Structure 1
Amino acid sequence: MKTFKIGRTSVSVFIGDITTWTGDIIVNAANSGLLGGKGVDGAIHSAGGPEIMEQCMEIRKQQGGCPPGNAVITGAGNLPAQHIIHTVGPIWEGGGRREEHTLAECYRNSLLLAIEVGARSIAFPNISTGIYGYPKAPACDVALKAVTKLLEEDLPDNRLERIDFICFSPENEELYAHWLEQFIQEKEAQI
């Protein structure tokens, strides 16, 4: 595990199973229908039990799903977290359909929702890099820029102490750790 400080928030990167993570909020890489699916979405719904789907169905009744870039929150069912934030990443179509903006909004809106509910810890998967096909290195860049930008805003209600990026593969872990190391070095060089 690699851990870095951004302001007062610790940002960690490691390989793991997001369904076993203990903390306040797990972020789910959901689909816009909030109907469960494959990859991390399927794993979260399977491990969390039917309560999560029931709450997703209530959200569907109220607002008809969750558009790409947006985020909604449910309980965590049987998972060791308190809540799940479901966000819908972009499907990669070559980069010309505002995929970067949409992916950045996933991270920003998830963090803003976590701050709104007073979370102190949150865990992210590598959103859109699985079946949605977003290339891993650009997705890492977008994710970490969005997170660090929000942390630098110094929002008054932000109580986040810990942000964990839980990677599925060694390749993603290496990308995220390398990016964070460079970010920290650049910040230190500015001081």
Structure 2
Amino acid sequence: MKINLVEGDITVEEVDVVVNAANSSLLGGGGVDGAIHRRGGPAILAECRALRASRYGRGLPTGQAVATTAGDLPARWVVHTVGPVWSADDYRSGLLRDCYTNSLAVADELGATSIAFPLISAGVYGWPVEDAVRQALSVLRAATPTHLTEARLVLFGADTHATAERVYAAG
């Protein structure tokens, strides 16, 4: 699977799957989550509400992933995953890696060939950018999906992109 680092807005990526750094309610919020819901329109929210009414009455657990329509986004599906909140006192890197692993598995089950990830947990959840990139790349580099041939890590802002490029080059 080819890995591309892209600076930009994940809501304009033309891929099969866009990954949403969701909150556990699945009902929208700020940051990437809010942008995906706004740009994708009411169809995404309707499917998220249906998921809450059926399988995820208490919300989507951290590290898990679930798919919905992409609505008006230039993608086929949105895979929602809930990242962990950063804590210097509690090791949560495994949960962060689970977000990527489980999102890849859901996308592969859908038959997707391309996927775009935001930098999960690196926004309001406070994960240090360099380590967030390292965690994401560790999963993406080790992945052996059946259908997926391209994974994009979509980075918001020049500084975040530059950090990702440096971490990527370091291997």
Matched letter for residue 160 of structure 2: N
**Equivalent position of 1:41 in the other structure:** 33
User: Which of these residues, 22, 31, 47, is aligned with residue 55 of structure 1?
Assistant: 47
How far 1:147 moved relative to its partner?
1.4
Contact 2:11 2:35 in 1 (8 A): yes
Q: Distance in 2 between matches of 1:150 and 1:176?
A: 19
**Equivalent position of 2:73 in the other structure:** 79
How far 1:74 moved relative to its partner?
0.1
Indicate the SS of the match to 1:11.
strand
Structure 1: gaps spanning 5 or more residues: 1-8, 184-191
Structure 2: gaps spanning 5 or more residues: none
Contact 2:130 2:167 in 1 (8 A): no
Pairing 1:93–2:81 present: no
Q: State the TM-score, normalizing by the size of structure 2.
A: 0.95
How far 1:171 moved relative to its partner?
2.0
Which has the greater radius of gyration?
1
Spell out, residue by residue over 1:117-154, the C-alpha distance to the aligned partner (whole angstroms, 9 max, x if none). Answer: 11100000011111111111111111110111223xxx
Q: Distance in 2 between matches of 1:11 and 1:92?
A: 25
**Equivalent position of 1:164 in the other structure:** 152
**Equivalent position of 1:114 in the other structure:** 107
Aligned-residue identity in percent: 43
How far 1:14 moved relative to its partner?
1.5
RMSD: 1.1
Matched letter for residue 111 of structure 2: G
